[in-house]
Each structure stands twice: as structure tokens, then as C-alpha cells.
Chains A and B, each alone.
Chain A
Amino acid sequence: MRKISTLLVAVASASALAACGSSADLSSDGGNGGGNTAAPADLRFVTVVKLTGVGWFNRMETGVKEFATETGIDATQTGADDAGPEKQVKIIQDLIPQRPTAIAVVPNSPESLEGVLKRARDAGIKVVTHEASDQKNTDADIEAFDNTAYGAHMMDELAKCMGESGKYANFVGHLTAKTHMEWAAGAQARAQEKFKGVTRVADPIESQENTGVAYDRTKELLTRNPDIKGIIGSAATDVAGIGRAVQEAGLQDKVCVMGTSIPSVSEKYFADGSIDKIFFWDPAVAGKAMLKIARLLAEGKQVEEGTNLGLPGYESLKRFPGNATTFHGNAWIDVDKSNAAEYKF
């Protein structure tokens, strides 16, 4: 009897917490959504990134803050302390009662967020995503570029460096990292179409987003394929591990190392050619792009083919074929030792 009473007390308190408060709040009247031109100061945008504290997203935060200063909109960035999907879900879940005008998300796992993003949209919040070209529950997804075209561009540069012949390998963060896999597929398709002398030695290799793993795997690659001429990295720290391995093997001049990275991670390997070139898109600009789109949506406007966001690389958005809500710009940046000093992140 005692125990039942205790449990009932517990359950009652719990349910009370779950259901209390004025029920009027539960309507999906967002207050800020819809087609009215609210003053900037009334708008609130929250950017939710994959992982907080790392260089890439610190740079994105710079862009978010610039946007806030330029427009007067309350724009902030938040993120969890690890790249696990469940923490991002909780952050977004906890944002819903705060009724921001829009949430801009860079998902760790787009699929895991579908549920909570749907709830957010049901509550009248606009959702913009980045690096999530298949996200269903989004009002607009913006990619810096078409992943296949980006992969092809990397292959153009790699093949040039390799003299258009030889073997290469391609690292990805995880085999589940869709974006990385699309880059790799784009590169391989380009090689098969245009650079028939360039062949890939293996399927994409996982670095597990860990520079040490990239390093170890590269050493094995070099042992197994002593005549390899090119290696592409996908996660930002891949090329650092790859370059280090190539440097230690003394093969800087023989192996072309390129990949997606940021200057601060790779520049120390440019000097002796351990890393030949890196590619990236400026996360600050991408962050601003998301927010500009959020503003358009908040004002009741649409994002169309050809929309100009007024940002470098995003002057004429293209829609992805077959997907009405995914757009991309043309915003990749090539960096090698000649221009690394221009980028301070």
C-alpha cells in the first residue's frame, strides 16, 4: 500500500509536470511565423551546429555574429559537446518552447532529426538546414555547392598534380557520412569520365574523423601501394594525418595530398609539399547563407532558382533536381601555400 502510494505520488508529479500550464500555449500559433514583416529586433534565429568548440563551427559562429550585427536580428549559435545525434535532438526539442522564428541546423544525422524538426515546424518555427540534402522536414536546405561537382573539381586538381595518371585513394570520415561519400563518388566519376589513367586503389577508406586513424591507414596504404600518387581526404583533419604520414615516409614530392580541410589545420604541411592543396567552403558564409534564407522565409518570401543571397558563391542559387527544397551555391575555395595566409581559421 505504502509503495503504491509512493509510486502514485511520483507518477502524479511527473504527469503534472508534463501536462500543467495553460493549455492555450499548445496551439501552433508561433506568434512570429507567417507572412508578416516583423521588425528585425523581433526575430530570433538560432543556429544549431554539429559540435560546439571546434574550429569549423567557431568560424561559423563568427558569421552568425556578423549577421546579427549587420541586421539587428537576435541570431545566436548553439551546439552539443559531442557529435552524437541524441544531444542535437534534445537541443532542438528544448528550443521549441522558446519559439524562435527560425532554427538553422547543421545535423549530425539528418534522419535522427526528422521527428523533432517536424515538431518544430508544427509549432510554426521555420527550419533551414545545411549539409543535409535529403532532409525531409526542412523548409530549405542550402549546400555550399553540388557535392558531385565539388568532388569532380577536387579530381581535376588532383589529376593535374598527378600528371593525369596513377593510383589514388580517398578517405571519408565515416562510410555513413553522406556528404563525404558524395564527394568521393564525384571524384571517382570524374576520373572515370575524363582521366582514364587515374585509378582508385580501394573503396573509400574510413578515417573515423580521427587524424591518427588517417595517419595509420595512410602508412598502410603506402606500404601496400608503394607507387600510389594521390590521396584525397574528406574530414578536416584527414589531410593532416595523411600529410604527416607522407612526410615521414619522405614521399612529399611523389604523392599528391589534397582534400577538404581548413587552413589552420593544414598550413604547416604546405611548406614542404606534404599537402598540396586543400578545398573548403567558408563556414561563416554558409552560416550567413542559412540565416539569410531564414529571413527570407520569415518574411514570407520563397527561395527560388536564381535567388541571390548577396554572399560570395551564393549569388545565384540552383535547385537540386528532384528535390524542391534543396539549393546549392558555388562556393568552394581552393587554398595552397600561395594563398594560405589570407585565411585566418
Chain B
Amino acid sequence: MTGVRTVAGVALRNAHVTRLVALTLLLVVVFSALAPRVFPTALNFQSIAYSVPEIGLLALAMALTMITGGIDLSVVATANLAALTTAGLYIAAGGETATSPLLLVAFCAAALLVGMACGAVNGLLVSRVRVSPILATLATMQIFNGIAILWTDGEAQYGFPDTFLWLGDATIAYVPVAFLIFIGAALLIWHIVSRTGLGTRIVLVGANPVAARYSGVDERGVLMRTYLISGLLAGIAGIVIAAKSTSASPDYGGSYVLLAIVIAVLGGTDPFGGRGSVAGVVLAAIALQVLASGFNIMRLSPFLYQIAQGLILLVVMVVELRRGRLLERLRGLLTGRPG
């Protein structure tokens, strides 16, 4: 009895997350009805689960920086650099024969370090040089991408051993390992944001940077750490991308930047800063991949999906951020009084 009440209470208090769960279930129901032989099958859900981790991780990175009122447009370029790092190291170590688990750990660690290094560059630019995050990460996106292209002569890199590819291909109880990695990372970020002092400070810096500064919060340190974590998440995304595609390429994932932002916003992150929900981002990532799969299965034009993505972004922002103001304006329009 008490259990039911608690769940209901949780659901009511986290209205946004509940809405997302409802949205996802609605999408599943609708597409299952439209494509009953294909959509509601284990293989399909597993397929969707394969495609969630890489964009989900990138969206988490994006959301974290957005909570501080900034943004990180370089997440995809960072992920590609991390992926290329593992590729380069594996190729140097012998390619498909380098199956030692020790190498696996070492090379993944290297990828994470590269991700954090990129994050550090962003962090320095935003916290010390005080460049606007939009411009800083727009520039670093180009720079990281340029470095990746020059490093590889623009070619995708092959040559991973099975031990590494296991990360992208294997399933445990029908759930892809990569998806489990994603959930693990999400739990880690959730812990940081909700349970640590750093998390509180991250939210505070985003919500009211002036107050934060005057309260003695080390804004620079917080921002630096935020971008470091964002880089780390991008590094994990890079590992997942490499393992899933069995290759690393400097140009992969160009469309993911916008998608990550859409997922972050849909997941309840306020782009002005100060608010965000890890659970929301996870659910939003799943919801949008369900939507994309549904579109693919229904053979709808990809341009319709592009429009849908843009609409979702705008509609969610209006509903989440400006519901009050929108209603005011509508009331003003209807009653003839200024809104």
C-alpha cells in the first residue's frame, strides 16, 4: 500500500520525468500500432538500444554544460578524437591481434584522457579567458575536427580486436553492453549532480552566477570541472562509437550536435542554466531514438524528421520555459489587453 503511494508521489513530484515516460510509452504504442509486425519486437527494441548510447552520452555532456548556462558544441569532435586515439593505439599495437585485456583498459583510459584534455581546453577558455561558451566551443569544434582530419588524412581507421569490439557488439541478457555503459555513466553523473557539493555548485553557477560569485563559490573551478566532465563523457561516447562501428572517423556524427541539444532540452535542461535532470536526459534520448526508428520503419522522409526535430526543440522550449509568458500573450491577444 505504502509502496504504491510512494511511486505515485514520486511520479507527481517529478512531473517532467513522468511526462517523458508517458511520451516514450505513447510513441511505442503508436508505432506498434502502425507497424505491428516490426515495431513491438525484441529485435527492434534491441536495435533502438544499440543506437541510444552514443547520442545519450553526448546529450549528457551537453546537458551538464547547459546547466551552468553554457554549452559544449565540441562534444562530437571530442568523441571522434577519443575514438581515433583508441584506433591509433590499437593499430600501433598490432590491430586485430592485440586482444589483451590490459591493452583494452589502457587504451580506453587513453581515450578518456584525450576527452578530458579537450574538455580542459574548453574549460580554460570559458573559465579563465572568459570567452563565451558558444564561441569557444564552436572554435574548438573546428580545431579538434581539423586536428582529427590532419592526423588521419581524413580516412577512417580500422583495426580493432574482438576484445574491444565486444563493447559495441555484445549483449548481456539481451541488453547491449554499450547501453549498460550509458546507464552506468548516467548514474555517475546523476550522483555528481544531485549528491555532491560540486553538483550543487554547478547548478548554482548556472542559476545565478553573480550570486554564486558573491557567495564565495569558485566559479572558475566549477566551470573547469564541468567541462572536464563533459569531455570525459564525450570520451566515453567516442569509445562506444568506435566499438559499435568497428572504426573511427574524423567526420562521424555531424548531425549529433543538434540532436544532443534537442535531447538535453527535451530532458528538462534549461539552456539559460540552473536546471537539469539526468533521468530526463536519459528518457529523452530513448524517446527521440524511438521516434527516429519509428520514422525509419514507417519509411517517412528524413526531411520530415528534420522538421520534427526542430519543432520538438522549439515547442519543448516554449512549453517548459515560457508557458507562463505564452499564456499571458495568448490571453492578451484574446482579450485585447497588452500581454
Write the residues of chain A forming the contact surface with B, with a CB cutoff of 8 angstroms: 2-3, 5-7, 9-11, 13-15, 17-23, 25-26, 52-53, 76, 78-82, 84-87, 89-91, 93-98, 109-116, 118-119, 123, 174-176
Q: Which of B155, B176, B186, B282 contacts A18 (CB 8 A)?
A: B176
**Does B272 interact with chain A (Cβ within 8 Å)?**
no
Distance (Å) between the CB of A79 and the closest chain B CB?
7
Whether the Cβ atoms of B42 and A20 lie closer than 8 Å is yes
Q: A9-B17, A85-B249, A115-B245 are contacts. A96–B154 as well, Cβ < 8 Å? A: no
Whether the Cβ atoms of B42 and A19 lie closer than 8 Å is yes
Whether the Cβ atoms of A13 and B24 lie closer than 8 Å is yes
In angstroms, Cα B186 to Cα A15, docked, is 13
Whether the Cβ atoms of A87 and B173 lie closer than 8 Å is no
Q: Which of B7, B42, B51 contacts A21 (CB 8 A)?
A: B42
Please give, as numbers and ranges, the residues of chain B lying within 8 Å of A96 by CB-CB distance.
43, 47
Q: A18-B49, A85-B251, A112-B156 are contacts. A5–B179 as well, Cβ < 8 Å? A: no
**Does B14 interact with chain A (Cβ within 8 Å)?**
yes
Distance (Å) between the CB of B318 and the closest chain A CB?
24
Q: Which of B24, B51, B190 contacts A7 (CB 8 A)?
A: B190
Q: Which of B13, B14, B21, B246 contacts A118 (CB 8 A)?
A: B246
In angstroms, Cα B24 to Cα A96, docked, is 21
Whether the Cβ atoms of B47 and A93 lie closer than 8 Å is yes
In order of increasing CB-CB distance, the 9 nearest A-B pairs are: A21-B42, A176-B154, A111-B156, A111-B247, A18-B49, A97-B44, A81-B302, A94-B296, A10-B279
Whether the Cβ atoms of B45 and A21 lie closer than 8 Å is yes
Query: How many of chain B's residues have a CB under 8 angstroms from any CB in A?
Result: 72
Q: Which secondary structure dominates where chain A touches chain B?
A: helix
Which residue of chain B is the closest to A7 with respect to CB atoms?
B279
Distance (Å) between the CB of A121 and the closest chain B CB?
12
Distance (Å) between the CB of A345 and the closest chain B CB?
21
Q: Which of A10, A23, A109, A115 contacts B17 (CB 8 A)?
A: A10
In angstroms, Cα B173 to Cα A95, docked, is 22
Please give, as numbers and ranges, the residues of chain B lying within 8 Å of A95 by CB-CB distance.
296
Q: Which of A22, A85, A97, A119 contacts B169 (CB 8 A)?
A: A119
In angstroms, Cα B158 to Cα A25, docked, is 31
Q: Which of B24, B155, B174, B249 contacts A23 (CB 8 A)?
A: B174
Whether the Cβ atoms of B286 and A97 lie closer than 8 Å is no
Please give, as numbers and ranges, the residues of chain B lying within 8 Å of A93 by CB-CB distance.
47, 50-51
Within 8 A of A (CB), among B259-295: 278-279, 282-283, 286, 290, 292-293
Distance (Å) between the CB of A129 and the closest chain B CB?
15
Whether the Cβ atoms of B283 and A13 lie closer than 8 Å is yes
- Which of A84, A86, A114 gathers the greatest number of chain B CB atoms within 10 Å? A86
Whether the Cβ atoms of A25 and B43 lie closer than 8 Å is yes
Within 8 A of A (CB), among B210-253: 243-247, 249, 251-253
Please give, as numbers and ranges, the residues of chain A lying within 8 Å of B46 by CB-CB distance.
18-19, 26, 97
Whether the Cβ atoms of B253 and A23 lie closer than 8 Å is no
Whether the Cβ atoms of A18 and B297 lie closer than 8 Å is no
Which residue of chain A is the closest to B296 with respect to CB atoms?
A94
Please give, as numbers and ranges, the residues of chain A lying within 8 Å of B104 by CB-CB distance.
none
**Does B337 interact with chain A (Cβ within 8 Å)?**
no
Q: Mark B100-116, 1 if CB is under 8 A from A, else 0.
A: 00000000000000000
Whether the Cβ atoms of B183 and A113 lie closer than 8 Å is no
Q: A10-B279, A25-B41, A52-B302 are contacts. A18–B48 as well, Cβ < 8 Å? A: yes
